[in-house]
């Protein structure tokens, strides 16, 4: 994002984040605990409901306002991963839900009374090949009975609702592989212990991600979003917003690292002069800035297309790839610039280094973005 856009939002987010300094995140990181207080403060300040239309109690702002929020959170050394999905997962209900579902859920998501920040797509055997998911919802009377397994489902323990993608028609019985999948809203408060088991996965970053096991979980038919069998399309619709927002987190991370690197390079004196006087130290930081600025323009461009209602799949993918690579390059330089201190927990750099690495894998890995560009944009043959 252009650092100048939405100045009031940026200022307010920076102020809020100042109340959650490195010590706060370090303690959570050590114990792998959820930033409840941070999320509560962001929710009460209204920052997680910026995308919900005013008629449902949100601020009704465009995607670029949401990117400004997430970028500033990450630039401040905080992490939006614990709650960013509360911003955009509701888009599935907003775009494809019934009037009744919108009335029932959106106002309460806007206030934070309901947390809809779990998004269940990935499965252990299907991997990126989503059409091969096998979690199955069988219609029995006025409810579905769900059986199967999901993996890497983040924030499931901290969410009241989950958007779940499952098969309602087996892949081999569907007209096309992308058909026969449906989206269900799972009420986690009722489901856990009644057919849903959540098992946390400890990872290299504090991300509250989990494995889910469905064993005859009953979901009322009224919780089906849109039409049965069209769920894959609904999920794809939400992915552009997600990719652009994640890209803005990378831009924030990149700015965090560049701020830290350039400040340290100015201040740290070795051999009687600032280390930043050495071009071997200065140029990598300058290069990071050049790369990150270009990636930020790509994020701006994708967000502008999204807000204008234009197709933006390729642009959202490219922005995510460029931003995640730029933040990772800046993270690497930041460690190098700090020498030994880059590894010390109290500098927060090693924590942010671990955190920003995720974005080249999730929510979509770089190879799959390159495959999209190679085949959809450049017309080369598909490998799968």
CB-based burial label for 159 (10 Å; 0-12, 13-18, 19+): buried
**Residues marked as catalytic:** 242
By CB under 6 A, name the one of 361, 376, 377, 380 that touches ligand FAD: 361
- Asked if 363 interacts with ligand FAD (CB under 6 A), we say yes
What gap in Å lies between CA 113 and CA 104, rounded to an integer? 12
Which residue in the shown chain puts its C-beta closest to ligand FAD? Answer: 127
Among 25, 152, 256, 264, binds ligand FAD (CB under 6 A): 152
| Span from 265-273, 279-287, 312-320, 363-371 in contact with ligand FAD (CB under 6 A) | 363-371
Q: Does 184 bind ligand FAD (CB under 6 A)?
A: no
Instruction: Establish if 162 lies at the interface with ligand FAD (CB under 6 A).
Output: no
Residue 371 touches ligand FAD, criterion: CB under 6 A: yes
Restricted to residues 202-241, the positions that interact with ligand FAD (CB under 6 A) are 203, 207, 209
Q: How far is the CB of 348 from ligand FAD (least distance, A)?
A: 19
- Cα first-last separation, the chain: 34
Which of 121, 185, 191, 295 is the binder for ligand FAD (CB under 6 A)? Answer: 121
Name the segment binding ligand FAD (CB under 6 A); options: 65-73, 175-183, 218-226, 367-375. 367-375
Write out the binding residues for ligand FAD, residues 13-42 only, by CB under 6 A: none
Stretch that binds ligand FAD, among 93-101, 116-124, 254-262, 311-319 (CB under 6 A): 116-124
Query: Which span (10-18, 222-230, 261-269, 362-370) binds ligand FAD, by CB under 6 A?
Result: 362-370
- Residue 381 in the binding site for ligand FAD (CB under 6 A): no
Is 125 a binder of ligand FAD (CB under 6 A)? no
Q: How many residues in the shown chain lie near ligand FAD by CB under 6 A?
A: 23
* Residue 68 · residue 9 · CB < 8 Å: yes
Q: How far is the CB of 158 from ligand FAD (least distance, A)?
A: 12
Binding of ligand FAD at residue 320 (CB under 6 A)? no
Q: How many angstroms separate the CA atoms of 291 and 316, rounded?
A: 17
Asked if 98 touches ligand FAD (CB under 6 A), the answer is no
Interface residues with ligand FAD (CB under 6 A)? 119-122, 127-128, 152-154, 203, 207, 209, 358, 361-365, 367-368, 371, 383-384
């Amino acid at each position: 994002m252009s650092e100048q856009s939405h100045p009031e939002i940026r200022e307010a987010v920076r102020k809020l984040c100042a109340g959650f300094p490195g010590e706060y995140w370090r303690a959570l990181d050590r114990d792998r605990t959820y930033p409840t207080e941070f999320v509560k403060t962001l929710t009460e300040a209204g920052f997680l409901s910026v995308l919900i239309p005013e008629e449902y109690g949100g601020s009704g702002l465009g995607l670029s306002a949401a990117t400004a929020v997430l970028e500033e959170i990450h630039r401040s050394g905080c992490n939006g991963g614990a709650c960013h999905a509360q911003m955009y997962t509701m888009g599935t209900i907003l775009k494809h839900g019934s009037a009744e579902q919108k009335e029932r859920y959106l106002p309460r998501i806007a206030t934070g009374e309901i947390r809809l920040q779990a998004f269940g797509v990935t499965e252990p055997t299907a991997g990126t090949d989503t059409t091969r998911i096998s979690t199955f919802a069988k219609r029995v009377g006025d409810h579905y009975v769900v059986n199967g397994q999901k993996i890497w489902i983040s924030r499931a323990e901290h969410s009241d609702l989950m958007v779940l993608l499952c098969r309602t028609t087996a892949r081999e019985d569907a007209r096309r592989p992308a058909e026969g999948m449906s989206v269900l809203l799972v009420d986690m408060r009722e489901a856990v212990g009644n057919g849903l088991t959540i098992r946390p996965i400890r990872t290299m970053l504090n991300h509250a991600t989990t494995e889910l096991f469905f064993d005859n979980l009953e979901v009322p038919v009224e919780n089906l979003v849109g039409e049965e069998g069209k769920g894959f399309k609904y999920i794809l619709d939400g992915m552009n917003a997600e990719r652009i927002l994640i890209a803005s987190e990378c831009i924030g991370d990149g700015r965090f690292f560049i701020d830290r690197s350039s400040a340290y390079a100015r201040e740290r004196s070795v051999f009687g002069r600032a280390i930043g006087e050495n071009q071997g130290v200065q140029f990598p930081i300058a290069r990071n800035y050049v790369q990150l600025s270009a990636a930020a323009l790509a994020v701006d461009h994708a967000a502008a297309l999204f807000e204008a209602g234009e197709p933006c799949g390729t642009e959202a993918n490219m922005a995510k790839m460029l931003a995640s690579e730029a933040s990772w390059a800046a993270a690497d330089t930041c460690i190098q610039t700090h020498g030994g201190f880059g590894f010390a927990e109290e500098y927060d750099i090693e924590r942010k280094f671990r955190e920003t690495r995720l974005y080249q894998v999730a929510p979509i890995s770089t190879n799959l973005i390159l495959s999209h560009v190679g085949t959809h944009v450049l017309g080369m043959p598909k490998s799968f």
